[in-house]
Amino acid sequence: MLSYKESLKILKEANALIEGHFILSSGLHSPQYVQCAQLMSKPDKAIRLCESLSEKIKIDFKDFDIILSPAMGGIIVGYEIGKLLKKETIFSERVNGEFKLRRDFIIKKKQKVLIIEDVITTGKSSLECSKLVRDVGAIVVGYACIINRSNGKSLIKEKIVSQIELNIPTYSKENLPNSLSSLKAVKPGSRNL
């Protein structure tokens, strides 16, 4: 398994951890942004983090049937982990602002589901996926991600297995430090389209 230092180095080399002034999907402001799409666009780097995460998943979640990921960010990570662990992998998509299963994807009653994302901040997308699972009478066995940047403030109360935890500060618009307020803010997140 990769160390924290090795994982951080890969993220920086992939230009997946960037500096500036960012407005997150939550509306909070941050001096750093994790753009996992940059990591996933570099398969030689992404696979190293996915392999390491799959080893952690094997230890923490020994028994599950299927992987569910939220579109867009979780699709590639879910697929790679599914390939490594030889598990069926599906994804949910937003339809009128709400996650749905489409493309004839099905979660069967009593199936054990692992929810995998690229980045967990608030956990909102993962929890929306877990609602889909529970609504059909299936079981959420847990959550996994490449990067957990929740700083212990995730809405997810169950265990989150991550390849790396990043403690990136966030600020409300009213409490911006001077270092951020002097920079132009950008909204890079997938929910800001």
Residue 190 pLDDT exceeds 80: no
Question: How do residues 162-174 score in pLDDT, each as one tens digit?
Answer: 999 999 888 999 9
The predicted pLDDT at position 85 comes to 96
Question: How do residues 94-124 score in pLDDT, each as one tens digit?
Answer: 888 888 889 999 999 999 999 999 988 888 8
Domain ranges of the chain: 4-192
Task: Name the band, by pLDDT with cuts 50, 70 and 90, for residue 155.
Answer: confident
Phi then psi for 20, rounded to 5 degrees? Answer: 155, -145
The predicted pLDDT at position 2 comes to 93
Q: Report the DSSP pairing between strands 66-70 and 139-148.
A: unpaired
Residue 48 pLDDT exceeds 60: yes
For residue 189, what are the contacts with CB-CB under 8 A and spacing of at least 6?
Answer: 23, 24, 25
CB-CB contact of 123 with 142 (8 Å): no
What is the percent of the chain where pLDDT is above 90?
A: 61
Global pTM reads 0.85
Phi then psi for 29, rounded to 5 degrees? Answer: -105, 150
- 4-192 has CATH 3.40.50.2020 classification: yes
